[in-house]
Structure 1
């Protein structure tokens, strides 16, 4: 098929039933008067101008050249769209999404069939909108998303409180404080901006009011009823990202409607993600859209249910540009056969259904154990990825195999079962699966965390009975991994994994019955090796004018005088100018987490975002600071937003709330 000419509509207003106008950027193939086309919607709160424009401009021109319109819409209250955002994946957001699908299908240039796609927020809401069954929505591509908002997003994980919850609330407070662009909305830009600043919520407050898996989290979690999603879904993720579980959970829940693709990647689209190898996302997507939006008989539905990259012993490093491994396919996904390991009398991890162990071991990790854990969702293949695990293993209870005589391949979610005794109502337990190289370097393969009061489920936590031995089973995140011959498999247990998870109110430690410990690893099983095409263009992102260079830094400071550990993240995108619009933007994140290794109530996190937008004769800036600290009984949140027009402060707002802790 020859490539079509196309035009870019920089802004189109989509009027909703309540009169609110949402801003859309559309890549429109030529010739739609005679040959209407399918369309793909991406629906986000990150600004189509100066926000996601780089990645949008790497993909939607390719779609348009293939005869598929691309429609990139700013969620209500973001970018140039009217109104004020009311939360994350709210009923109103999803209802608006259904209206947008309906609007697209009704346009004269549309063939009436719409696809929806996105990464992260857009990957979430495309699955959630699909569950609402708008008639014109025929297929989705969901990247780095979740089917379970409570357990597989940035909020909570098996009852443990993720630090990413504050990080993301701070990010959204910064993002939603940004001004609309006067070049698009005209003179009303300031009125729209002030309405946002005055009415935008601080998401953290609502999230902390729902520390259990209640109706708030069930909303939008398609795992509550997979049958509500009746259309095909291509679900993609990367092993280096926090959303690595979703593709396998999707095929388990959606069955033949879903296809899974899992690469080595961080939280990015596969055609420009690291670590390499990349995947030809454009080719994959166009084939998917042509099958379901054009009824082209191209066999997209007949491919393997799961394609996964099996990592082959990558080593932690300052930057992982490329990971060794191979692509495999499983035509039909089934529950993996598990290989069991126990603890021998001499403390070795050994293949067996049980072991004698070394008796009971008391474990109480320093509260700053976990500084090599990396970011929950990674955007770069550097210090955001998990580092050498020897740092964290020093504060952990570890068991490892003898050097392997043969390589061992795994794909799926490992589990660990163990009897523990706790003297308080709850404690955290973190478990890591580690690949130990012959020189001692240790690569994290998978991890799992559990708040022990959530051992029987997340809807109704149940306090541990002090002094009573209790069996717990912890499911780790999915992995696709080969342990090479000569390497060792290590399992590491710790009662802290900071700053990835935050401490419980007390720090009692745990007694571990090593004889009961059983590690189950999911064998790769029957498969075939395949090739996954890489993109033809090795550098697909457009280039903008760099006015100031970006900076990235991640440091750990242990203050030996005052007994505090500080973990600091500093990310400056630099100031860059779009060559066509002249809009220059810059975002700066400055975040610090601090804790005393022996005092859980000393924990504090502070994240400041500075967001700048300017063009000749106009400049705006917001500075938002979000803080989370705690007592034994309360979470304490504070935030402020300050806005500037030029150098004049024009707005200031403060938030503060104390929220009772619920087994956390």
Structure 2
């Protein structure tokens, strides 16, 4: 059933049992009241009216034309929905989602089968909701998501504190400060807005109060019990994004239910993502929904378990429009064969496991604390300076070992693993390991990286101090990669004790001693596979065009003030002012973020994230300025927030809050 006409219902109220109204935008196939249709739910805090409208309008019309209703719902306390948000993936949020699914299934236009889909937050919660098994939910598509909230989200990574945690808290602070649209909620918009401004939670303080992998993080981490998810799950990610581990983790944890697709992309839907090649997501998603929501033989269940794009000698560039490579498929995912590399007596990386014949080779490394400025963003929205740059910048402050030029090509797919003996004269330190492709001209491409807080060496739930000065064997699992090291290139392993601002420093900076003779780098071979063609979208540019009143701009700069002995890392993202041509609502968001550190003082670290958000329509406007600041002492993380709101030019609200949170092995 294709090319059906459809109607867009701009706002539909879904009333829950407690009287809360959730706001939905629905793309409804015409005739569904006579011949009921399946539906796909996307359930987000990102404001259907303005925040995700562009991507929604590039996706749901195609579903509706195929006879599948699209239901885009703002979670409680977001957009036009009633109430106040209470956190990320909370029991209330997931319970509300189950109620929304039941509401959809009960509508006269519904055939009773519901799918759930999303990217990032929506990719997270569709897996989490699937684990709750609402009866009408029959399948999910999860994009750029995680199965482990502690280790594979924007908060912590193997015990290390990600700077993205403050960045994301600032983003949510700004998003949640914006008012509902008066055109949809009427005169109560101001009351709703002021109530949210007064009561929205200080998310950063909550996240920072859980520095170990405790019950807070286990909630919503489906890796705790993969068997709870019994519906088919198509799990998608991009190598250029921070959520690249999830597809392979999903097929390993749910081998009978999950299919994996990994492309070269940033944190975007595959049909309009960068770098290219893109993927015909709409066609594949429709086949997925037809198979599991209509029980049609669409072939979706016959897809290989894993399809992945193998990057081929990609170089870092200011803007990457396309990454060279090739698609491969594996009918069944199996643990990869590993090729080991070790360090020989002269300090070169060579194939083979560590040899007892090589004497201990202790090397002390203490990186400048500003090592890491070529790391890029944790999750990336554009294929520009958000991606990691030439790694020679960071390798200068790192311990580096590398192979001779390769005599034959080496193809990888999976997660590299590094083991080695280290010692340290303090309770803990951070380490970062990076797998790097060194091109014949010296350009260095980061293929994968992994980090560890050494107090978390035996797990993230119960960290413990190092035995000072005593060699300890540690294991770092690097992020998944699909990559071809070409003949004539070198494989480099770079190890640093800092990776700033990607991870924030511990309170002391002791450096570590690494026994190079113990180093074992295991690389996952691609192994048996089929080279395949993955269809690209018929429409190469599906995003709608809005009216631009002010152009956007992006700046990302690193400044080293030699006199002050300070390095600043600044991010400016201005969306510009754009107006939806049908609703007349114009929006603009500006992120201005600054991180600073002295290269020899971990307690000098501080970060500030400022979000300015504007909404306007003829005769009406609102603006908010949300500021979050973070600094530290040896014992505490110090947070400060400020929120100011304006209706027109009149300030109508202001609040500040401060919080000191004890450091707990981070």
Match of 1:54 in 2: 54
- Distance in 1, matches of 2:518 and 2:264, equals 34
- Distance in 2, matches of 1:124 and 1:570, equals 27
- Distance in 2, matches of 1:469 and 1:133, equals 47
Match of 2:499 in 1: 497
Q: Residues 118-517 of structure 1 correspond to what in structure 2 (within 5 A)?
A: 118-355=118-355, 356=358, 359-517=361-519
Residues 310 and 327 of structure 2 are in contact (CA less than 8 Å); yes or no, is this contact kept in structure 1? yes
Deviations 1:597-622 (A, max 9, x none): 00000000000000000000000000
Q: Residues 515-526 of structure 1 correspond to what in structure 2 (within 5 A)?
A: 515-526=517-528
Residues 357 and 514 of structure 1 are in contact (CA less than 8 Å); yes or no, is this contact kept in structure 2? no
Deviations 1:300-320 (A, max 9, x none): 112100000000010001011
- Distance in 2, matches of 1:642 and 1:204, equals 18
Per the TM alignment, residue 34 of structure 1 is displaced from its structure 2 partner at its CA by 2.0
- Distance in 2, matches of 1:590 and 1:633, equals 28
- Distance in 2, matches of 1:270 and 1:112, equals 28
Match of 2:11 in 1: 11
- Distance in 2, matches of 1:18 and 1:403, equals 66
Per the TM alignment, residue 554 of structure 1 is displaced from its structure 2 partner at its CA by 0.3
Query: 1:23 aligned to 2:29?
Result: no
Residues 347 and 358 of structure 1 are in contact (CA less than 8 Å); yes or no, is this contact kept in structure 2? no
- Distance in 2, matches of 1:639 and 1:68, equals 43
- Distance in 1, matches of 2:291 and 2:371, equals 49
Residues 420 and 469 of structure 1 are in contact (CA less than 8 Å); yes or no, is this contact kept in structure 2? yes
- Distance in 2, matches of 1:476 and 1:357, equals 27
- Distance in 2, matches of 1:301 and 1:88, equals 32
- Distance in 2, matches of 1:371 and 1:534, equals 34
Query: 1:541 aligned to 2:540?
Result: no
Residues 218 and 224 of structure 1 are in contact (CA less than 8 Å); yes or no, is this contact kept in structure 2? yes
Per the TM alignment, residue 33 of structure 1 is displaced from its structure 2 partner at its CA by 2.1
Please, which runs of 5 or more residues in structure 2 have no aligned partner? Answer: none
Match of 2:73 in 1: 73
- Distance in 2, matches of 1:607 and 1:2, equals 46
Residues 423 and 508 of structure 1 are in contact (CA less than 8 Å); yes or no, is this contact kept in structure 2? yes
Residues 2 and 67 of structure 2 are in contact (CA less than 8 Å); yes or no, is this contact kept in structure 1? no
- Distance in 1, matches of 2:17 and 2:385, equals 46
- Distance in 2, matches of 1:412 and 1:297, equals 31
Query: Normalized against structure 1, the TM-score is what?
Result: 1.00
- Distance in 2, matches of 1:297 and 1:72, equals 27
Aligned residues: 664
Compared CA separation, residues 342 and 357, structure 1 to 2 (3 A) = farther
Residues 251 and 260 of structure 2 are in contact (CA less than 8 Å); yes or no, is this contact kept in structure 1? yes
Per the TM alignment, residue 358 of structure 1 is displaced from its structure 2 partner at its CA by 7.1
Deviations 1:568-622 (A, max 9, x none): 0000000000000000000000000000000000000000000000000000000
Residues 366 and 597 of structure 1 are in contact (CA less than 8 Å); yes or no, is this contact kept in structure 2? yes
Residues 357 and 516 of structure 1 are in contact (CA less than 8 Å); yes or no, is this contact kept in structure 2? no
Residues 311 and 326 of structure 1 are in contact (CA less than 8 Å); yes or no, is this contact kept in structure 2? yes
Q: State the secondary structure of the residue aligned to 1:546.
A: strand
- Distance in 2, matches of 1:381 and 1:297, equals 37
- Distance in 2, matches of 1:33 and 1:263, equals 38
Residues 433 and 496 of structure 2 are in contact (CA less than 8 Å); yes or no, is this contact kept in structure 1? yes
Q: Paired residue for 1:558, among 557, 560, 566? A: 560
- Distance in 1, matches of 2:33 and 2:648, equals 46
Per the TM alignment, residue 347 of structure 1 is displaced from its structure 2 partner at its CA by 1.0
- Distance in 2, matches of 1:391 and 1:330, equals 36
Query: 1:93 aligned to 2:93?
Result: yes
Residues 346 and 358 of structure 1 are in contact (CA less than 8 Å); yes or no, is this contact kept in structure 2? no
- Distance in 2, matches of 1:343 and 1:655, equals 51
- Distance in 2, matches of 1:397 and 1:203, equals 37
Match of 1:42 in 2: 42
Per the TM alignment, residue 655 of structure 1 is displaced from its structure 2 partner at its CA by 1.4
- Distance in 2, matches of 1:39 and 1:541, equals 22
- Distance in 2, matches of 1:312 and 1:277, equals 13
Residues 587 and 614 of structure 2 are in contact (CA less than 8 Å); yes or no, is this contact kept in structure 1? yes
Residues 339 and 351 of structure 1 are in contact (CA less than 8 Å); yes or no, is this contact kept in structure 2? yes
Per the TM alignment, residue 359 of structure 1 is displaced from its structure 2 partner at its CA by 1.2
Per the TM alignment, residue 2 of structure 1 is displaced from its structure 2 partner at its CA by 3.6
Residues 430 and 495 of structure 1 are in contact (CA less than 8 Å); yes or no, is this contact kept in structure 2? yes
Per the TM alignment, residue 357 of structure 1 is displaced from its structure 2 partner at its CA by 6.7
- Distance in 1, matches of 2:19 and 2:107, equals 18
Could you say what the CA RMSD is over the residues aligned between the two structures, in angstroms? 0.6
Q: State the secondary structure of the residue aligned to 1:127.
A: helix
Deviations 1:326-366 (A, max 9, x none): 00000000110100000011111000111427711000000
- Distance in 2, matches of 1:518 and 1:244, equals 23
- Distance in 1, matches of 2:256 and 2:404, equals 41
Residues 372 and 387 of structure 1 are in contact (CA less than 8 Å); yes or no, is this contact kept in structure 2? yes
